[in-house]
Structure 1
């Protein structure tokens, strides 16, 4: 029995599925913040949800009691919702986000694969954020990877090299690979000394990289003012502690010494992305 509950069966134009989950791989809520940014800025509508009953411990993730405007009492359960966005993008979007499931990960990933297949998504992009030894005062670097050697080569992405304990995103990538659905990962580093949410700088970096790779507009520049305010607040806090000041200066020096690499332009990446998808359709 499927765990996906459909509100409607959308008909979409060359859709991409974009995924992020709250939890271990969402430092500063950068990844889910990027999903919410896209939902808030475009006419998104929910088309499906994954029934939470099988995937959560409700003693750990308790439902909430709410009183509606009509005065009626309602229970709001943990949710993992799929929204669609149809616009003048190169691709329509299916965006899936919510709490990281706590159990039955393989079954959960099968549900995500079902959403990707039933909406005829041509590729899946997962977003994530990790704490890292980086300074808040330097650009937030986004790393991209793909298990597919061909996809990694054409988009200038890394091949995954990590070995060890994994989370739901790693499990999902394995399920998508086994289902022959192309998938790439975009993940941003978050300064570990200021890892709490919100982090508009990390969110902006993910949105910018997503736009660069796929050609889908995200209006990430609208976050510039929030990023400057965030940087100033963190800098003001850092200046109050001499030990942290010294540590941040060291991180800045390391970041400045990092070797620059020649990266393809956004237009080149987006063109190669579209070419790859056209060839996948022809196959």
Structure 2
């Protein structure tokens, strides 16, 4: 196998602190509710980022299966948007750095791509890896979005994984990355969002919020979500209006609610970030809680007697 490092170009001018979390989301397969696409676009647009490594699209992408966009203006071509798969250094809302792997899911050379990602994880001293995916499920939009969580972080799988099937599933590239990282004992978690099947082909803002909630639970990073929440409220209001005006759709949602509630009665799982009202706290609320926690830790450290 050719050297995996030749798959990407490293930006040697960007110093990367060791011990950062890695967050990954690649598009191209089973992105129900456009959760991954929305999250990665949103983070790249709203956060301060700088490219650490750029992967070679000509090696990894089937252009005829996923054709890139070129702009045509009246009688000539004006711009070309090349496919992008890159590792960026980003900062959350509190200014804490983390690594962000985004772009297209490779069509080719999965083993070599996986070795390349693992090489970056090891070379950069990555502390943990968290990745996102979403699939359509027979669940109602009137209930909080749930997860299936994989990996070797029991504190996440035990508290957040609502659906734990034993089954064969079509893999994506990040499944293989998780599998290989887990073999090495690297802390890894994969979050699969369970999206209402009737919203699977939409851009469902609440799916993006739930994905960011998963990232916060896994890494402690605080992400901006206010714009997504506002979009989500408007989106759900339109869905509720359609449901109210369609008896068949209302019956479907009601049946899904009954099945969902019956299933959830048999589990005590509850996301640590969801309040009693079922709402995900805002970034400001999470930041306030974090500040309280840090203040408490500082007080305890000050009160602790010195060794010796």
2:8 aligns with 4
Confirm or deny: 8 A CA contact 1:65 1:74 kept in the other structure.
yes
- 205-214 vs 157-166, greater mean Cα deviation: 157-166
Match of 2:154 among 152, 155, 170: 152
For the structure 1 residues 10 and 67, does the alpha-carbon distance in structure 2 shift closer, same or farther, using more than 3 Å as the test? farther
User: Superposition pairs for residues 1-283 of structure 1, below 5 Å?
Assistant: 1=3, 2-8=6-12, 9-12=14-17, 14-66=19-71, 75-86=80-91, 92-146=97-151, 148=152, 151-153=153-155, 156=158, 161-257=166-262, 258-259=264-265, 260-263=267-270, 265=272
For the structure 1 residues 46 and 242, does the alpha-carbon distance in structure 2 shift closer, same or farther, using more than 3 Å as the test? same
For the structure 1 residues 223 and 74, does the alpha-carbon distance in structure 2 shift closer, same or farther, using more than 3 Å as the test? closer
Structure 1 gaps of 5+ residues are 272-283
Structure 2 gaps of 5+ residues are 274-285, 294-308
1:278 aligns with none
Distance 2:119 2:71 in 1: 31
Distance 2:231 2:198 in 1: 19
- 18-27 vs 161-170, greater mean Cα deviation: 161-170
For the structure 1 residues 239 and 264, does the alpha-carbon distance in structure 2 shift closer, same or farther, using more than 3 Å as the test? closer
For the structure 1 residues 196 and 93, does the alpha-carbon distance in structure 2 shift closer, same or farther, using more than 3 Å as the test? same
Distance 2:227 2:18 in 1: 26
Confirm or deny: 8 A CA contact 1:14 1:91 kept in the other structure.
no
- 240-249 vs 194-203, greater mean Cα deviation: 240-249
Distance 1:39 1:125 in 2: 17
Distance 1:106 1:56 in 2: 14
Distance 2:156 2:246 in 1: 46
Residues 164-211 of structure 1: CA distance to partner in whole angstroms, max 9, x if unpaired? 432222222122223443210112111111112311101101112221
Confirm or deny: 8 A CA contact 2:26 2:103 kept in the other structure.
yes
Residues 105-137 of structure 1: CA distance to partner in whole angstroms, max 9, x if unpaired? 111222222332233211110111110111112
Confirm or deny: 8 A CA contact 2:68 2:83 kept in the other structure.
yes
For the structure 1 residues 235 and 7, does the alpha-carbon distance in structure 2 shift closer, same or farther, using more than 3 Å as the test? same
Alignment TM-score, normalising by the size of structure 1 = 0.81
> Which has more radius of gyration?
2
For the structure 1 residues 74 and 215, does the alpha-carbon distance in structure 2 shift closer, same or farther, using more than 3 Å as the test? same
Alignment TM-score, normalising by the size of structure 2 = 0.75
Confirm or deny: 8 A CA contact 1:208 1:220 kept in the other structure.
no
Confirm or deny: 8 A CA contact 1:46 1:83 kept in the other structure.
yes
Q: CA RMSD in A?
A: 2.9
